[in-house]
């Protein structure tokens, strides 16, 4: 049996919230030993966030934390205390990779700066995934994922026609920064494997977000105009939108749930198939709709005709009828749809591991499968400080008595 891709790689993980934890989640999926440094004095924001298992609050009950910290170990170290910082430093130096997503300068102030670590361990790899990067006039500015969406230009390009800039609907800057960070760390590990050299990686979440807006940046230069917001429409495809279906069959917590189907027609052949599927085969050759140009010109009318058909159906029915006809279509899934989706369940996307406090919950695993090397989720997210004693004694070589003394001194809170 082959070893996991990152077997033997240890990560001292000083990240928190979402961007950094999403980075180290990937490394954990591939078998790295990820040790998250936490403190009771300042809990990770996501340990506070809803939903809490069964509505009962507690730092180990957050679905958000438990999703993005699977596989990881948790040690609680008080970085405000000198003894705590010494433990953290020892952990960093026992690791191959040190990760953080603090603003510029914070790791240095904690005695965990790259230059200092490198003196003791020249091949160490360190990544800082800050909001603005380590250099430049705004380097000390702070950024949260939700604010990265407007900052990156994505909001300016997203919105209904004629309406204001809107959002992505989630803190896109966070997972996007984190996943790019994971790639950077892997590139550095690959380089280290070949040459023995470590290095420092400076990742700006702002920049990783702007990298996702490249077409907008280039369009502005190529045309001299800011791209216009156009809802769900597309210059090169029509129809291209989300169409109202019947509400979900059951009410959830007494509320009816609006449901939608997305349809994207990439060429005239698909348009003919769509016209037939919605019971209007004669529209295929109708001058108003026969070509992309005509469909773009009469898009309001086109959308109204499609809505007449979708609004009388459940979203799943519309999706299946259109897919059968050879038209790209999919429901706008809710979390419940994903949870119950037969495809995802059959593919083994979900992970069900016993968590010490919330039991078994159906979490998401990696969005890929490797044919040869083991990967995925070995254990549920840790409860706060679950591995403190274990890591200090087995990884860092402290004796039980030393651990007790550190705890008494308040270094392990």
Partner 1 sequence: MSGPFASLKVVEVGELTSAPYAAKLFADLGADVVKIERPGAGDRARHRGPYPKNEPHPEKSGLFLYLNANKLGVTLDIFKPEGMELLERLAADADVLIHNMSPPDMDRAGLDFERFSRRNPRLVMTSITPYGLTGPYRDRLAEELTIWSQGGLTYLNGAGPDTREIPPLKVFGQQAGYQGGIHAAVATAGALMAQWRDGEGQHIDVSVYEVCASQLELTYVYWPYAQRVASRLGAKPVQPLEALECRDGLIFLCCVEDHQWKAFVELMGHPAWTDEELFRGRGRRTANWDAARLFVQEWLNEQTVQDLYHKAQAKRIPFAPVSTMGDLLNSDHLKARGFFVEIDHPQAGAYKYPGPPFKMSRTPWQLRRPAPALGQHNREIFGGRLKLSDAEMAQLKHKGVI
**Closest CB to partner 1 among 128 and 388?**
128
| Range in contact with partner 1 (rule: CB under 8 A) among 4-12, 284-292, 385-393, 403-411 | 4-12
**184, 238, 302, 395: residue in contact with partner 1 (rule CB under 8 A):** 184
Q: How far is the CB of 322 from partner 1 (least distance, A)?
A: 9
| Contact set for partner 1, span 81-140 (CB under 8 A) | 127, 131-138
**Choosing from 13, 96, 123, 174, which is the catalytic residue?**
174
Cα–Cα nearest to 332, from 310, 351, 309, 348: 310
- In this structure, what token pair is assigned to residue 203? 């990742």
Give alpha helix (H) positions in 137-284: 145-151, 154-157, 173-195, 205-210, 214-223, 268-277
**Smallest gap, in angstroms, from Cβ of residue 398 to partner 1?**
30
Q: What is the DSSP letter of 282?
A: G
Q: Is 413 in the site for partner 1 (CB under 8 A)?
A: no
* CB-based contacts of 157, cutoff 8 Å, min separation 6: 165, 213, 216, 227, 229
**Strand duo 359-360 + 354-355: pairing:** antiparallel
Nearest-approach distance from CB 259 to partner 1, in angstroms: 9
Question: Applying CB under 8 A, does 58 fall inside the site for partner 1?
Answer: no
Minimal distance in Å, beta carbon 325 to partner 1? 10
Other Cβ atoms within 10 Å of 146 Cβ, number: 16
Q: Please list, in sequence order, all residues whose beta carbon lies within 8 angstroms of the beta carbon of residue 48, skipping any fewer than 6 positions away.
A: 59, 62
- By C-beta, is 312 or 323 nearer to partner 1? 323
Separation between Cα atoms, residue 317 and residue 311, nearest integer Å: 11
Cβ proximity to partner 1: between 18 and 398 the closer is 18
CB of 407 to partner 1, least distance (A): 27
Could you say which of 196, 221, 254, 282 contacts partner 1 (CB under 8 A)? 221
| Interaction of residue 174 with partner 1, rule CB under 8 A | yes
For 124, the token pair is: 């160490």
Site for partner 1 contains 235 (CB under 8 A): yes
- Determine whether 267 is exposed, middle or buried from the number of CB atoms within 10 Å of its CB (0-12, 13-18, 19+): exposed
141 binds partner 1 per the rule CB under 8 A: yes
CB of 143 closer than 8 Å to CB of 131: yes
Identify the three-state secondary structure at position 200: strand
Q: Indicate whether 70 belongs to the interface with partner 1 (CB under 8 A).
A: no
Q: Does residue 60 touch partner 1 according to CB under 8 A? A: no
Q: 15, 24, 66, 74: which one contacts partner 1 (CB under 8 A)?
A: 66
Angle between helices 299-310 and 315-325 (to 10 degrees): 110
- Using CB under 8 A, which residues numbered 185 to 204 contact partner 1? 186-191, 193-194, 197-204
Stretch that binds partner 1, among 83-91, 225-233, 275-283, 395-403 (CB under 8 A): 225-233
Residue 354 token pair: 């016993």
Q: Closest distance between partner 1 and the C-beta of residue 402, in Å?
A: 34
**Could you say which DSSP state residue 247 is in?**
P
Residue 45 engages partner 1 in binding (rule: CB under 8 A): yes
Q: Site map for partner 1, 246-275, x if CB under 8 A?
A: --x---xx---xx-x-xxx-x---------
CB of 313 to partner 1, least distance (A): 16
Burial annotation 179-209 (CB, 10 A radius, 16+ → b, else e)? bbbbebbbebbeebeeeeebbbbbbbbbbbb
Stretch that binds partner 1, among 77-85, 92-100, 158-166, 285-293 (CB under 8 A): 158-166
- 196 Rama sector, left if φ>0, alpha if ψ -120 to 50, beta otherwise: left
Residues in contact with partner 1, counted by CB under 8 A, come to a total of 159
Active site includes 174? yes
Annotated catalytic residues are 174
């Amino acid at each position: 049996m082959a070893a996991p891709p990152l077997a033997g790689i240890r990560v001292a993980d000083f990240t928190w919230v979402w961007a950094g934890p999403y980075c180290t989640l990937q490394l954990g999926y591939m078998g790295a030993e990820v040790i998250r440094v936490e403190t009771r004095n300042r809990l990770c924001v996501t340990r506070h966030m809803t939903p809490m298992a069964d509505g009962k609050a507690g730092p180990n009950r957050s679905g958000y934390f438990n999703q993005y910290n699977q596989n990881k170990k948790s040690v609680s170290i008080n970085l405000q205390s000198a003894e705590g910082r010494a433990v953290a430093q020892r952990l960093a130096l026992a690791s191959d990779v040190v990760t953080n997503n603090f603003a510029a300068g914070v790791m240095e102030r904690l005695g965990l700066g790259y230059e200092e670590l490198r003196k003791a361990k020249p091949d160490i790899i360190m990544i800082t995934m800050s909001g603005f990067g380590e250099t430049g006039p705004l380097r000390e500015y702070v950024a949260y994922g939700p604010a990265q969406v407007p900052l990156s230009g994505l909001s300016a390009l997203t919105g209904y026609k004629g309406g204001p800039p809107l959002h992505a609907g989630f803190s896109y800057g966070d997972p996007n920064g984190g996943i790019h960070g994971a790639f950077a760390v892997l590139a550095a590990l690959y380089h280290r494997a070949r040459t023995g050299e470590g290095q420092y990686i400076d990742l700006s979440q702002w920049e990783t977000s702007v990298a996702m807006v490249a077409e907008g940046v280039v369009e502005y230069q190529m045309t001299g105009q800011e791209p216009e917001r156009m809802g769900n429409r597309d210059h090169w495809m029509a129809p291209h939108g989300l169409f109202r279906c019947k509400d979900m069959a059951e009410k959830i917590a007494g509320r009816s749930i609006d449901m939608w189907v997305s349809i994207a027609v990439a060429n005239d052949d698909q348009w003919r198939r769509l016209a037939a599927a919605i019971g209007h085969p004669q529209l295929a050759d109708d001058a108003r709709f026969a070509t992309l140009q005509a469909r773009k010109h009469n898009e309001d009318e086109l959308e109204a005709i499609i809505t007449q058909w979708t609004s009388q159906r459940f979203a799943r029915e519309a999706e299946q009828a259109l897919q059968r006809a050879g038209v790209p279509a999919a429901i706008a899934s809710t979390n419940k749809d994903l949870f119950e989706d037969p495809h995802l369940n059959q593919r083994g996307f979900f992970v069900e591991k016993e968590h010490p406090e919330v039991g078994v919950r159906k979490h998401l695993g990696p969005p890929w499968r490797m044919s040869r090397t083991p990967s995925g989720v070995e254990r549920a997210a840790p409860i706060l400080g679950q591995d403190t004693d274990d890591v200090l004694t087995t990884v860092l070589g402290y004796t039980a008595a030393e651990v007790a003394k550190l705890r008494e001194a308040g270094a392990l809170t």
